[in-house]
Chain A
Amino acid sequence: MSCWETIADYGLRSLGIGERLLPREGFTLCQQVTLIGSGMLWNIYFGICALVTGFGLATAVAMGKASNNRVLRKLSEWFIFIFRGSPLFIQFFFAYFLFLSLKQATGMFAAFSSAWAGALVVLFLNTAAYSGEIFYGALLSVPKGDIEAADAYGMSGWPRFRRIVWPTMLRLAWPAYTNEAIFLFHATTLVFFSGFPALQQKGDALYYASYFADKTFNPFIPYPILAGYFILLTLVIVGIFGLINRHLNRHLPQDARPKLRVRPNLLR
């Protein structure tokens, strides 16, 4: 079987399209690269969806934590504390079993006991908490002069937030937010190891990598392939976020623009 056939068979296997049976013996390098790459689709799906939805909630949480309203502030602080203070792995487990019992009780949450929706909810809340804390830190370092200037121009409330505070906050938070994004993509590998079932062996990249490692007793091939994919993904994220960073800082003089520095990514 040539490599092209393998790609045709297994390229979209993680979505359930193509050959049903996973290879059982005589594993070729091509099969491993194709299947692990096919699993990356899930990592990208979880990462992008959680990032996009989490961004909105993160802004709201940051505003809540900085607000003068006691109830809103406490609520945001507790939200951030709960999701940042506990392991994502345990959050996945808890959410899965929570959705499972809700499903039995009401039947309304059927979709959430499968990975594509349930894990996405957890990742969404989790990244909202982490980025909320980052945005809050940036919100506190918005220069006083900017706000005073906005006041002097007669801006207040929503226009001041939208045109002065928010863009500056984003600009200041962007390097840290880039790391959070990389972090999030790495965290997506936990999904199929934490209760959420991989139905019909439709799993993510790490799921297939560990499948091959278990079958061949040889970790030296699948895991480096996985590592290669993730380094590639990280480079793409850094590239895209770098472009946005340039856009956010386009009004600043050339030498005052902060450079994106990628810090090490720790798991959560």
Chain B
Amino acid sequence: MQWFACYLTTGKHMGFYVSFGTVLLLLAITAPTALAFGFAAAGAARSAIAPLRWIGKTYIAIVRGVPDIAFFLFFVIALDQAFEWMRHKVKCADWDQPIRQGNDFVVCAAAKLPLGNSPQWMHETYGFFLAVLTFSIVFGAFAGNVLFGAMRAVPHAQLETAAAYGMSRRQVFWRILVPQMWVFALPGLSNLWMVLIKATPLLFLLGVEDIVYWARELGGAKTPRFTDYPHDDWRMWYFLALLIFYLAFTRVSEVVLTRLMTRLTHGQATTGGEAQRKAAT
């Protein structure tokens, strides 16, 4: 027992516990960013300006029909290269060699991201930043789809009434449409939140040292030659722990979101609101 407690508190295990924080941090940053992306996309898809509308609709549509994991793998390299290419254009304007030389992607040393001489934590932070951006782009498209649907669900007569009162398009959007759409968007958004939680292990594929990485690393069989805490292949148990962690997390989210939904439907002219009214009387 003593041995086991010591085993679970080795320095490497601290890395494992910290990586749970990484996952929560990713969720905390990605959720609002993706919502903002989605909001912008849904707003653009409703815009009166045709090119803006096309951009919004294409962005929302493109993530359908293709496995998301392909997007994750694609965006991480694509974004990295896009950033380096832009810095290359700005910083090394007199560079005359082509950037794609055969199978290599070559930019000048000053344009490298992060710079070759920067410390290790910069590299890790940059990797994490790319992962967050990738998650935000993909989930932003999903959120955009949900919000676009929610905006269409707001009764059209109300928008017309607002226009009849002399509100401009902008005022109708911000004062009538946006405050009312949330109750329609919430079921979709809470589903999205669940999906986002369940997508976090994919961080591993993006090269971030997350819980999956540590579970594989720590669980693997260790011989007494290299460590004070030798053991057999325990990866199964580590992944069982992760499975339980995610089950608990989704369960808690489910309970919280159900409560939130009950509160938001209160007094709304929807089936849910009507059911609440009937139950109360």
Q: Which A residues are in CB contact (< 8 Å) with B195?
A: 266-268
- Which positions 84-116 of chain A face chain B at CB distance < 8 Å? 85-91, 93-94, 97-98, 100-101
A223-B199 contact, Cβ under 8 Å, with A189-B67, A230-B67, A264-B64? no
Interface residues on B, range: 35 or more
CB distance from B213 to the nearest CB of A (A): 11
B233 and A100: CB pair below 8 A? yes
Shortest beta-carbon distance from A116 to chain B in Å: 19
CB distance from A154 to the nearest CB of B (A): 36
The closest CB in chain A to the CB of B100 belongs to: A218
Interface presence of B127 (CB below 8 A): no
- Across the interface, do B236 and A206 meet the contact criterion of CB distance under 8 Å? no
| Cα(A87)–Cα(B245), bound, Å | 11
Q: Provide the B196-219 mask, 1 if CB < 8 A to any CB of A, else 0.
A: 011111101100000010011001
Tell me if A121 counts as interface (CB < 8 A to partner B).
Answer: no
In the complex, chain A residues whose CB is within 8 Å of the CB of B242: 90, 93-94
Q: Which of B69-77, B152-160, B161-169, B271-279 lies on the face that meets chain A?
A: B69-77
The B interface is mostly helix, strand or loop, or mixed, namely helix
Q: How many contacting A-B pairs (Cβ < 8 A)?
A: 129
Give the chain B neighbours of A93 by CB distance below 8 A.
212, 215-216, 235, 239, 242
19 CB contacts below 8 A, A to B, read A82-B247, A87-B201, A90-B243, A93-B242, A94-B236, A100-B236, A186-B66, A213-B77, A217-B77, A219-B81, A223-B74, A230-B65, A231-B65, A264-B63, A265-B65, A266-B142, A266-B191, A267-B195, A268-B195
| A residues less than 8 Å from B246 (CB atoms) | 85-87, 90
A187 to B67, CA, bound (A): 7
Alpha-carbon distance between A144 and B228 when the two chains are bound, in angstroms: 67
Q: How far is the CA of A139 from the CA of B200 in the complex (A)?
A: 33
B-binding residues in A (CB < 8 A): 25, 27, 81-82, 85-91, 93-94, 97-98, 100-101, 182, 186-187, 189-190, 193, 206, 209-210, 213, 215-220, 223, 226-227, 230-231, 234, 262, 264-268
CB neighbours of A89 from chain B (8 A): 201-202, 204, 212
B243 partner, pick from A86, A186, A190, beta carbons under 8 A: A86
Other-chain contact of B142, A91, A186, A264 (Cβ < 8 Å): A264
Also in contact, A25 and B103, with CB within 8 A (given A234-B65, A266-B192): yes
Chain B residues, Cβ within 8 Å of A94 = 236, 239-240, 242-243
* Residue B78 CB within 8 A of the other chain: yes
Indicate if the CB atoms of B64 and A218 lie closer than 8 Å: no
Q: Which residues of A contact B192 (CB under 8 A)?
A: 266
- Whether the pair A266, B73 counts as a contact (CB closer than 8 A) is no
What residues of chain B lie closer than 8 Å to A189, measured between beta carbons? 67, 69-70
Pick the most buried of A86, A223, A227, A265: most chain B CB atoms within 10 A of its CB: A86
Partner of B200, one of A87, A91, A182, A227: A87
A186 touches B64 (CB 8 A): no
A213-B73, A217-B105 known; A88 vs B198 contact (CB < 8 Å): yes
Q: Closest residue of chain A to B60, judged by CB? A: A264
- A interface: dominant SS: helix
- A81→B254 CA distance, assembly (Å): 11
Contacts of B105 in A (CB 8 A): 217-218
Residue in A98, A187, A219, A227 with the greatest tally of chain B CB atoms within 10 Å: A219
From A101, A210, A265, give the contact of B233 (CB < 8 A): A101
Chain B residues in 8 Å Cβ range of A219:
73-74, 77-78, 81
Chain A residues with CB under 8 A of B145? 264
B248 to chain A, nearest CB (A): 9
Chain A residues positioned under 8 Å from B123 (CB to CB): none
Closest 10 CB pairs of A and B: A186-B67, A94-B239, A97-B236, A87-B198, A223-B74, A267-B68, A219-B77, A89-B201, A85-B250, A227-B66
Q: Is the CB of A265 within 8 A of B64?
A: yes
Q: Chain B residues near A82: list those with CB within 8 A.
A: 243, 247
Set of chain B residues within 8 Å of A267, measured between Cβ atoms: 67-69, 195, 198-199, 202
Say yes or no for B251: interface residue by CB 8 A criterion. yes
The CA of A193 and the CA of B205, in the complex, are separated in Å by 8
